[in-house]
Amino acid sequence: MKWVVSLIVLAMAATPVLAAGDADAGATVFKKCMACHAVGEGAKNKVGPQLNDVFGRTAGTAPDYKYSKAMIEAGAGGLVWTEETLKPYLRKPKDVVPGTKMAFAGLPKEEDEDNLIAYLLTFSPNYVPPAPAP
């Protein structure tokens, strides 16, 4: 019986994360981000950091990117990018991290936020969402 439970847990961990949005529609939304960010094979930092494996990453820690002091402090304070933390940041970045270098005002439509998150999740294949609080 233990091996069955272990197998189920392992299968759940290997299941890709599914977001509320549509990844294909999120690819279109990402066009608003492409001037500053990159994703995919060979993605490099631009004006903003590359966003491969952003989910599960502590804010302000992408390699070889010079973050604002505010973003580094947010990460040191425990900000980790998840669906729940990225969504309000995408809505109004400066409300979530006052002093961020991100000049983008934000996405006004919740649907665009959900779709962009679904798209970005496709570039975080090893992300395992945190367990819900009891």
Q: The CATH number of the domain where 38 resides is what?
A: 1.10.760.10
Residue 17 has pLDDT above 90, yes or no: no
Asked if residue 131 belongs to a domain, the reply is: no
Residue 39 is assigned to a structural domain of this protein: yes
The domain of 65 spans 2-121
Q: Is residue 129 situated within a structural domain?
A: no
List, for residues 29-49, the tens digit of each pLDDT value: 999 999 999 999 999 999 999
Q: Is residue 128 part of a domain?
A: no
Q: Is residue 9 part of a domain?
A: yes
Helices (H), the chain: 2-14, 23-30, 69-76, 83-91, 93-96, 110-121
Domains in the chain: how many in total? 1
Predicted confidence band at 1 (pLDDT cuts at 50, 70, 90)?
very low
Q: Is residue 115 part of a domain?
A: yes
* CA distance linking residue 89 with residue 104, whole number of Å: 10
